[in-house]
């Protein structure tokens, strides 16, 4: 059984000081009965639940706590997936096994081979193609004696609301849920927001190297290998410092130099929980297009209450644009930039 104190200490070292609700979740995970021996009697025993479904608000630490717990197990038979990546893999395998009888069963056997736990992060059923198979897939996985841990922002009853053929999805998914512990991670403390606010609160204009920013993101978001230095926006590729699931890190001087527009900014604002922006440069009317795009970006993200961390380093907000042609637009943007850095803005989204 993993050590609760070790997990708490690890989280504290990453700047996430667990509250009572988070400690309660850690304790429940540590009590999970992980066995290497499979039997139908054990699988369906009341004392041996098939897994845990963890849900709660964004930023409560569901993913970080779960990954820290799994690391503490010190096992090499654990598989972790982001939900979107998992379903992409499943659909790809279904296509490759289109002529096979009961292909989902074959896929589940391959998926669970030499595996004790499967972790599915950010479970969010939104697509009808996913909805028609995910319940059956989870039943098959657990039927092989594999423990499943899922994290989600939604209660199971609120998944796939108003989706096509939702009753069919619920029928299979609820069978899986009968032997799963549903745990709500309560509380209103977003540890990521707290840490981001504190990161440079005493000197917001100090120069922070990329290495330090990257380490900060890793420590707080527990990124896995599904990260990239390119982002696909409306069928076009753009360079970025980092993109991984629900976070994006871009550079002001590179990204806004590209021919981006309001549709791109709306996409970004809707897709990502956190956006990090670094490498700010001073501009005037000779580089007015960069400033225009940035103003449009701020207008959209401000309206959507998107959480953004700005790394201005030694450049004051006032000096980002020193021209005169769009001074009236820049005045409004400066005001919004100042507000978007405040604790009130970042904690009331």
Domains of the chain from N-terminus onward: 4-184 (3.40.50.300), 203-347 (no CATH)
Cα–Cα distance measured from residue 128 to residue 6, given in angstroms and rounded to the nearest whole number = 41
CA geometry: angle 244, 256, 331, nearest 5 deg = 115
Average pLDDT over residues 192-199: 80
Cβ–Cβ under 8 Å, residues 341 and 310:
yes
Which range is least confidently modeled, 45-59, 88-102, 235-249, 317-331?
45-59
Enumerate the β-bridge partners of residue 53: 150, 182
Which range is least confidently modeled, 22-36, 192-206, 230-244, 268-282?
192-206
The larger pLDDT score, comparing residue 342 to residue 189, is at 342
Summarize pLDDT for 235-271 with one digit per residue, the tens. Answer: 899 989 999 878 999 999 999 999 999 999 999 999 9
- Residues with Cβ within 8 Å of 287's Cβ and at least 6 positions away in sequence, in order, are none
* pLDDT for the residue numbered 41: 46
Summarize pLDDT for 23-48 with one digit per residue, the tens. Answer: 999 999 998 887 654 444 444 444 45
**Token pair of 199, please?**
């990161």
Cα–Cα distance measured from residue 144 to residue 106, given in angstroms and rounded to the nearest whole number = 12
* pLDDT for the residue numbered 68: 93
- Residues with Cβ within 8 Å of 270's Cβ and at least 6 positions away in sequence, in order, are 304
Summarize pLDDT for 12-21 with one digit per residue, the tens. Answer: 887 778 888 8
Helix/strand/coil (H/E/C) assignment for every residue in the chain: CCCHHHHHHHHHHCCCCCCHHHHHHHHHHHCCCCCCCCCHHHHCCCCCCCEEEEECCCCCCHHHHHHHHHHHHCCCCEEEEEHHHHHHHHHHHHHHCCCCCCHHHHHHHHHHCCCCEEEEECCCCCCHHHHHHHHHHHHHHHHCCCEEEEEECCCHHHCCCCCCCHHHHHHHHHHHHCCEEEEECCCCCCHHHHHHHHHCCCCCCCCCCHHHHHHHHHHHHCCCCCCEEEEEECCEEEEEEEEECCEEEEEHHHHCCCCCCHHHHHHHHHHCCEEEEECCCCECHHHHHHHHHHHHHHHHHHHCCCEEEECCCCCCHHHCECCCCCHHHHHHHHHHHHHHCCHHHHHCC
Average pLDDT over residues 70-76: 93
Whether the per-residue pLDDT at 95 is higher than 90: the answer is yes
Question: Comparing C-alpha atoms, which of 222, 191, 187, 217 is closest to residue 66?
Answer: 222
pTM attached to this predicted model: 0.63
> pLDDT-based confidence at 189, cuts 50/70/90?
low
**Token pair of 337, please?**
């930039």
The larger pLDDT score, comparing residue 303 to residue 35, is at 303
The larger pLDDT score, comparing residue 265 to residue 347, is at 265
Whether the per-residue pLDDT at 152 is higher than 80: the answer is yes
Whether the per-residue pLDDT at 128 is higher than 80: the answer is yes
- Residues with Cβ within 8 Å of 60's Cβ and at least 6 positions away in sequence, in order, are 21, 22, 185, 187, 189, 190, 191
Report the length, in residues, of the chain: 349
């Amino acid at each position: 059984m993993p050590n609760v104190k070790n997990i708490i200490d690890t989280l504290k070292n990453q700047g996430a000081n667990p509250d009572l609700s988070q400690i309660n979740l850690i304790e429940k995970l540590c009590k999970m009965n992980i066995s290497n021996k499979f039997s139908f009697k054990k699988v369906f025993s009341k004392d041996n639940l098939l897994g845990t479904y963890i849900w709660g608000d964004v930023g409560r630490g569901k993913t970080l706590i779960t990954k820290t717990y799994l690391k503490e197990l010190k096992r090499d038979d654990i598989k972790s997936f982001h939900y979107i990546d998992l379903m992409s893999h499943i659909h790809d395998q279904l296509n490759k096994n289109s002529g096979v009888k009961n292909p989902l069963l074959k896929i589940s056997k391959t998926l669970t081979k030499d595996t004790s736990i499967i972790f599915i992060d950010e479970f969010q059923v939104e697509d009808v193609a996913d909805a028609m198979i995910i319940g059956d897939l989870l039943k098959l996985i657990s039927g092989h004696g594999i423990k499943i841990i899922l994290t989600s922002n939604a209660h199971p009853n609120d998944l796939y609301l108003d989706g096509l053929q939702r009753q069919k999805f619920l029928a299979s998914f609820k069978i899986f849920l009968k032997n799963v512990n549903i745990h709500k991670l309560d509380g209103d403390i977003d540890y990521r927001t707290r840490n981001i606010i504190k990161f440079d609160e005493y000197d917001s204009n100090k120069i922070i190297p990329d290495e330090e920013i990257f380490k900060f993101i890793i420590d707080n978001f527990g990124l896995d290998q599904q990260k990239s230095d390119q982002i696909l926006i409306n069928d076009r590729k753009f360079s970025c410092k980092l993109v991984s699931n629900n976070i994006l890190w871009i550079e002001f001087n590179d990204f806004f130099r590209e021919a981006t527009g309001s549709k791109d900014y709306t996409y970004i604002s809707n897709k990502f929980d956190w956006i990090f922006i670094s490498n700010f440069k001073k501009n005037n009317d000779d580089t007015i297009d960069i400033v225009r795009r940035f103003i449009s970006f701020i207008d959209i993200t401000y309206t959507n209450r998107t959480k953004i961390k700005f790394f201005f380093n030694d450049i004051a907000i006032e000096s980002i644009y020193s021209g005169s042609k769009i001074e009236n637009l820049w005045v409004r943007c400066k005001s919004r930039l100042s507000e978007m850095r405040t604790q009130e803005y970042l904690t009331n989204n």
